[in-house]
Amino acid sequence: MVYNKVVDHTYRYCITVLKVRPVWSVFVLEWSNRMSKKKTERQIISSIIVNGLRETIKVHGPISRRLIGSAAKRISGPLLRRKKKNENTNADSD
Q: What is the pLDDT of residues 44-84, one digit of tens each?
A: 889 899 999 999 899 989 888 888 898 899 999 999 998 88
CB 20 within 8 A of CB 10: yes
Cα 7 to Cα 15: distance, rounded to the nearest angstrom: 9
pTM as predicted:
0.54
Minimal CA–CA distance to 56: which of 42, 41, 39, 68?
A: 68
pLDDT at 20 over 60: no
The domain in which residue 52 lies consists of 2-93
Q: How far is CA 72 from the centre of its chain?
A: 22
Q: How many domains does the chain have?
A: 1
